[in-house]
Structure 1
Amino acid sequence: MGLRGRLAGLAAVAAALAMIGGCAGPGSGGSQPAPKAATADWGKAEGTIDFWDTNANPRLTAKWQELIASFEKENPKIKVNYVGLPNSSYLQKVQNALATGEIPDVLLIGNDIGSLIAQKAVVPLDDAFGEAKLPDRIDKDMVENERGNSADRKLYKAPLTALSDVIWYRKDWLTQAGLKEPKSYDDFFADARALTNASANRFGFAFRGGPGSMPPMIAMTYGMSGVGQFFTDKGQATLDAKDNVKAFKRYISLYGTVSAPADISNDYPKIVAAFDGGSAWAMHHNLGSYQDHITALGADKVVGVQPFPDKDGVVTATSPAISGLSIMAGSEKKAAAWKFVEYMSTTGNSDWAETVGQVPALAKAQKDQWVQQSQPLKAVVQTAANPKTQYVRLPTYLPDWGSILKTEMEPDFQAVLQKTMTPEDFLSKYATRFEKALAEYKAHGGK
């Protein structure tokens, strides 16, 4: 996978430093104007632009406002109107905005980019990227990954950061209980059981059963099963493969046994509150929650690890997601919007990446000291450098990807947890659903 080369490069940097001194739903829409790649008609870089942050929380909002103030100081003719949206509900707000025409100029977007591309809701950034001489400065594998999300191979999102899925656990809990740190999934499940004491409101795992529950489910399922492809070469979905069914059952067995019954409605803030607040030993999220953990607990008490290896040493991880900025096709201030995107891709990139605890897209920033001092980032780059690591490329290029996960799978997942739908039926249903989405994508020119 493309990102592997970039992360392996980071691993080499980390090793060198160590030697010297000792890591979205498709709309039927179509109402937006066709994207234009050229920047000649983007107008003047001035005026007020609206920026929608689709992963807002108090800490990240404060950083955005700080970076926006710095940007405005350097670009006095441009003002940025910040709007923060919670990640669990932003997609519907974006779709409503597209329907009404009340759109932002710049949008923070992750794996839901395929839907916006299909709706022609965002513009290609290739010309602007080249004019700003960014191809030689921005991580080439991240850019290549984003080109893979569009059938025309154009760049519709300027990468800011890459974030890998991470299993987080409390090291201090293990020390207090006299337990060793887990080296396998068997160890992990055993520790979760040993550390659960429901009467004391202490649980082994903060289970995400509510909004946003599908990414951890997919990562944990494939991580335990060892299945290395989401689609076979013949376009068959592997979600309901025998080994995935077994792994999925093991994953959902965490709910209600080593997790609180109320976890069925857990979203991101709730699992973080449980973990950082002292009622859960472990949780599954991504690099994005690292700063929350160290702020609440201290870096010495928190460990972030990649998927555990199987008995043969093979690690199966989902490929890192790329978070970045897109410019909406309906924006009337594209030149000003691009200046903000360019600033965040360069001047503001390291500061932003450190705040969210993710790998920066700016190649120079990947060598910054904070990257090398981050234990979870080191775990990521070591996993990437491991010749036995395989990455499952998630089909984020599918226009239906985001809506299938959020609006279709989440309600059925709760039905599985409530035992009104069988694990087999759930996986079979969505294997078929993804195969249909892939066939439709290819029928419309996707590769």
Structure 2
Amino acid sequence: MRRGIAAAVAVTAFTISASACSSDSSGSDNAGPVTITWWDTSDATNEAGTYKALVKEFEKANPDIKVKYVNVPFGDAQTKFQTAAGSKGAPDVLRADVGWTPGFAKSGFLTPLDGTPAATEADKFEKNLIEQAAYEDKLYGVPQVTDTLGLMYNRELFTEAGIKEPPATWADLKADMATIKEKTGVDGFAFNPQAYYVMPFLFGENTDMVDARDQKITLNSPAAVEGVDTLNDLLKAPGVRKLDTTSNAYANIMDAFSSGKVAAIVQGPWENANVFKGSAFKDKENLGIAPVPAGSKGQGAPLGGHNLVAYAGSDEAHQKASQKFIAFMTSAASQEKVAVTNGTLPTRKDAYSVKVVSNPGIDGYEDLLAGGVPRQPLPEYSSLYTPLETHLIKIISGQEDTAGGLDKAAAEAKRLLPDYSTS
């Protein structure tokens, strides 16, 4: 998962130029190297350079394969790929959010990777991440990077406020916010009002947006109401930063935390590199990483990340080249380089080398992965974030009451899942 979850599920039409897509005929008649196209959805400023360098390494090791690298903004990529795949012009390989994989597979856009060179080391990967890359018992992606949400906190500010341990529950965080504000003058906590960041509040009440096994929408269940009420209560407490619902909310919150104007946020490891650029974290050891606080029924955070998937519309030569490329990009050596340079989490245990875990951000989040809640294997799952976010903002802004707002969100979810019942 990454910046702007809501943008990842927006439905907007885009036209893709043929030059950016696959179906390059080079190599199909054995006249020369095969050229495959890869759409990379990583951050163009802070992450893409590492992947471009790996592409060059791959081409050097595989002179019969050329890779056409295209960086596609994450917020646009889902719809762009759907449009391109529907017209048989998609890239050979896509860096896909884990939430997109089931939907693309159901639509027939992806080719299974079981038994191919791309998946020969599948047993090296975290088991729950492989599960997230599968749909209907077939593997459609290989996990490239992973993430989960944790509580990022400023150790120096916590110490200055006399707080020795990170909060274990939302009630603890509520108390700590007030103490930090009183003792340091700094806001204790800031919340990003996107649906993805409310998931720990739902998991803390042992619920989710939907129950795919029982075919039931649970967005408006009593447990979900309790979870959102917990969040709403927290946001009204002393020491919380004023709620930001502008289009720049995400960047504003990150700037405030990185510069030491906010003591704690709920965030993922994809922001490690940016955080360490901030004035408050010149000493990387000042960054604390803890599990998201627990609700009344327990603790949990969404497990996210990105898979490398292969387009089903490519010919045999491009499929084979794509499989080699996916294997290379998800190898332990490649993942180690990405982790060291970009500060993101590897998806396989053998990539957590001494160099990788020397980054306190990675070391901290690695410990949280075991508690991550896998995405349900439902093609429409990611689309459920849209109605949840629409009404979440209205609820925490005081425009709707919790139960009424979640009832509306569930009704909108019902349009996506007409065969599902609601709470």
> Is TM > 0.5 for Structure 1 vs Structure 2?
yes
Match in the other structure for 1:331: 314
Aligned to 2:187: 203
List alignment gaps of at least 5 residues for structure 2. 1-7, 14-26
- Structure 1 unpaired stretches of 5+: 1-23, 30-40, 443-447
* 1:427 paired to 2:384: no
Quote the residue 1:350 is aligned against. Answer: 336
Q: Aligned to 1:203, what secondary structure does the other structure show?
A: coil
CA RMSD of aligned residues (A): 3.6
Alignment of 1:156-305 (within 5 A): 156-184=140-168, 185-196=170-181, 202-209=186-193, 213-223=194-204, 225-227=205-207, 231=211, 234-255=214-235, 258-266=240-248, 268-296=250-278, 297=281, 298-305=283-290
Give distance in 1, aligned partners of 2:62 and 2:299: 45
Q: Distance in 2 between matches of 1:247 and 1:262?
A: 20
- Which of 30, 33, 57 is equivalent to 1:70? 57
Tell me, yes or no, if the aligned pair for 1:46 and 1:335 is still in contact at 8 Å: no
Matched-pair contact (CA < 8 Å) for 1:50–1:82:
yes
2: CA distance between counterparts of 1:334 and 1:190? Answer: 55
1:401 equivalent in alignment to 2:410? no
- Bigger shift: residues 119-128 or 76-85: 76-85
**Cα deviation, residue 378, structure 1:** 4.9
CA contact (8 A) 1:305 1:376 kept: no
| Closer/same/farther in 2, CA of residues 273 and 57 from structure 1, 3 Å limit | farther
- Cross-structure match for 1:120: 108
Distance apart, 1:77 and its partner CA: 3.1
Letter of the 2:190 counterpart: A
> In structure 2, what is the Cα distance between the partners aligned to 1:126 and 1:402?
24
Distance 1:401 1:229, change over 3 A: closer
Q: Is the 1:126–1:154 contact (alpha carbons within 8 Å) kept by the matching residues of 2?
A: yes
Shift of 1:358: 4.3
- CA deviation map 1:105-163 (0-9, x unaligned): 21111222122112111111113147x6323444444323422xx12x11111112331
**Once the two structures are superposed, what CA deviation does each residue of 1:200-234 show, in whole Å capped at 9, x if it has no partner?**
8x53333223xxx11111123323x3548952864
Specify the code of the residue in structure 2 equivalent to 1:122. L
Displacement of 1:192: 2.4
Q: Which amino acid aligns with 1:219?
A: P
Report the CA distance shift for 1:228/1:255 in structure 2 as closer, same or farther (over 3 A). closer
Q: Is the 8 A contact 1:230 1:392 kept in 2?
A: no
CA deviations 1:300-352 (Å, max 9, x no partner) are 211111123468xx742135224210011223422222222111111412222
Contact 1:264 1:414 in 2 (8 A): no
Maintained 8 Å contact 2:208/2:218: no
**1:21 aligned residue:** none
Q: Is 1:53 the equivalent of 2:40?
A: yes
Give the letter for the 1:417 counterpart: I
Greater displacement, 135-144 / 162-171: 135-144
Name which structure has the greater RCO, CA cutoff 8 Å, separation 6+.
1
How many Å separate the matches in 1 of 2:392 and 2:343? 29
Q: Which shifted more, 249-258 or 185-194? A: 249-258
Could you tell me whether the CA contact under 8 Å between 1:236 and 1:435 is conserved in 2?
no
**How far 1:168 sits from its partner (Å)?**
0.9
Letter in 2 for 1:239: L
Q: Distance in 1 between matches of 2:345 and 2:378?
A: 24
- 1:230–1:394 Cα contact (<8 Å) kept: no
Partner of 2:3: none
The answer to which of 41-50 and 81-90 deviates more is 41-50
Partner of 2:16: none
Residue number in structure 2 paired with 1:362: 348
Contact 1:25/1:400 (<8 A) preserved: no
Distance 2:201 2:255 in 1: 21
Q: TM-score, normalised by structure 2?
A: 0.78
User: 1:404: how far off?
Assistant: 2.5
Calculate percent identity across the aligned residue pairs.
23
2:291–2:368 contact (8 Å) kept in structure 1: yes
Secondary structure in structure 2 of the residue aligned to 1:325: strand
Query: How many residue pairs are counted as aligned between the two chains?
Result: 389
TM-score by length of 1: 0.74
- The answer (yes or no) to whether the contact 1:52–1:82 under 8 Å persists in 2 is yes
| 2:276 aligned partner, one-letter code | I
Say whether the 8 Å CA contact 1:104–1:328 is kept in structure 2: yes
Question: Deviation per CA, 1:274-318, whole angstroms, max 9, x where unpaired?
Answer: 32133322222222222322343132211111123468xx74213
Counterpart in the other structure of 2:18: none
CA distance in 2, matches of 1:325, 1:90: 13
SS of the aligned residue for 1:414 comes to: helix
Once residues 121 and 367 of structure 2 are traced to their aligned partners in structure 1, the CA distance between those partners, rounded to angstroms, is 27
In the other structure, the counterpart of 2:73 is: 86
2:388 corresponds to 1:412: no
What's the secondary structure of 1:404's corresponding residue? helix
Distance (Å, rounded) in 1 between the aligned partners of 2:251 and 2:29: 40
Name the SS of the counterpart of 1:126 in structure 2: coil
Distance 1:42 1:358, change over 3 A: farther
C-alpha separation in 2, matches of 1:161 and 1:343? 14
Q: Where does 1:17-56 land on structure 2 (aligned, <5 Å)? A: 46-56=33-43
